[in-house]
A and B are shown apart, each in its own frame.
Chain A
């Protein structure tokens, strides 16, 4: 095996620098987009934005580069009286490590989810694969139509189910993509929309990750 050459090292750093800048901007823009959509004046969602977003991130073992970033927005039920936070709508960006280690996948992912709890990388509470190796997961999940990981029942209330789907990060290239592939389907899923309507068949493989039954 020959040694790595200097130009490749420089190119790798330039790539990480460029990529990191875009990932930072994506996180800010997507966080704001979801905040705006959750608080739209004529929203028909069953839930409302219940407080500040929570951000978290994780570096590689050598503390050189960020491997994952996340953003979680607290959701409360719409209605009169004081409500408590029922769920977190959020996203996790995973560039390397167990966050992107879906079987057959070898590229960065953008996970979109609705969970009971916040992503907390330090507590190993994240979307990581195999699913049974991270604190979050239990074995009660189902993979529906090869595209949605579901805990609970789809026909139950929005607050009684947890779900996640994943996108190939580098297929997301504009604000329009963020609206089309993240905000619109995520809000549709919260409203109880059919999975294959929210996440249509022709998105499978690009940009949507096709999941095997066991993760």
Chain B
């Protein structure tokens, strides 16, 4: 899918709401997780660690990073465990475990959202408390990745769901990651000469296509569009003509003071 999207294939339109035939339900979150993060499973351990290291540095979580070189990386997607309390199964989107040469462990518990609500107000709380053991919680960070992060950001304030279960002596272990931040990290890795660089390039293009876009302001639009040109038409009449378009709504409000130059073509 990454290659197809980069080459102009429109398959990604399903993540913008388009459906094929009688298709109704699309598992967007799972598919996007698989498309964007799946390839990391095939990359060298060192490069995978470098990527997540940069992500955590960008969010101010460097203090949780291991201090020794990485020995191994193990990524599992949709791992399932049974909750100790009520026996229900809990399935986060991913768990990445880093081991160092001196046996330190860093666990990244991943929950990805794609323009959807949490599955119950306590979804993140249950993942943290019932998927991870107490021992694992002291070695883990919980990454909430979404286009819009308010449901993750407010989770520690939700006392009904259990409050701030991520609080630790070294700070919160809940990491809020807008997809846009992931894009900015991907951009740092783009390099056609390395495996992670090629993945970063394709993943960045894919995320851009599915609507994860940086706000670039409005100034640049002026340079792309000649609307309506003072050199070719009197602006006063060009603007006035606009009111003839029925679908454009109310007639535009003319400025109370119209500079003389607007009445005349140069």
- Whether A32 lies near B178 (C-beta < 8 A) is yes
Of B117, B150, B156, B241, which is in contact with the most chain A CB atoms at under 10 Å from its CB? B150
Inter-chain contacts of B180 with A (CB < 8 A): 28-29, 32
CA distance A74 to B250 in the complex (A): 34
Given contacts A52-B117, A52-B150, contact A177 B227 (CB under 8 A): no
Given contacts A18-B221, A39-B156, contact A97 B249 (CB under 8 A): yes
Residue B187 is within 8 A (CB to CB) of chain A in the complex: no
For window 161-214 of A, CB contacts with B under 8 Å fall at 169-170, 172-175, 177-178
- Whether A177 lies near B150 (C-beta < 8 A) is no
Q: How many A-B residue pairs have CB under 8 A?
A: 141
Inter-chain contacts of B238 with A (CB < 8 A): 8
- Whether A1 lies near B241 (C-beta < 8 A) is yes
Chain A at the B interface: SS class: mixed
Residue A25 is within 8 A (CB to CB) of chain B in the complex: yes
- Whether B244 lies near A1 (C-beta < 8 A) is yes
CA distance A51 to B151 in the complex (A): 6
Residue B176 is within 8 A (CB to CB) of chain A in the complex: yes
- Whether B250 lies near A15 (C-beta < 8 A) is no
Chain A residues touching B, range? 35 or more
- Whether B256 lies near A104 (C-beta < 8 A) is yes
Residue B262 is within 8 A (CB to CB) of chain A in the complex: no
Inter-chain contacts of B226 with A (CB < 8 A): 11
- Whether B215 lies near A25 (C-beta < 8 A) is yes
CA distance A182 to B91 in the complex (A): 38
Inter-chain contacts of B117 with A (CB < 8 A): 52
A to B CB contacts below 8 Å, 29 in the list: A1-B241, A11-B227, A11-B228, A12-B242, A15-B227, A18-B221, A22-B216, A22-B217, A25-B213, A26-B215, A28-B147, A28-B178, A29-B180, A35-B150, A35-B153, A38-B153, A39-B154, A39-B157, A49-B154, A52-B154, A60-B248, A60-B249, A62-B249, A64-B247, A76-B157, A106-B252, A106-B253, A106-B255, A175-B215
A-to-B contact residues, CB < 8 Å: 1-4, 8, 11-12, 14-15, 18-19, 21-22, 24-26, 28-32, 35-36, 38-39, 41, 48-53, 60-62, 64, 67, 73-74, 76, 81-83, 96-97, 101, 104, 106, 169-170, 172-175, 177-178
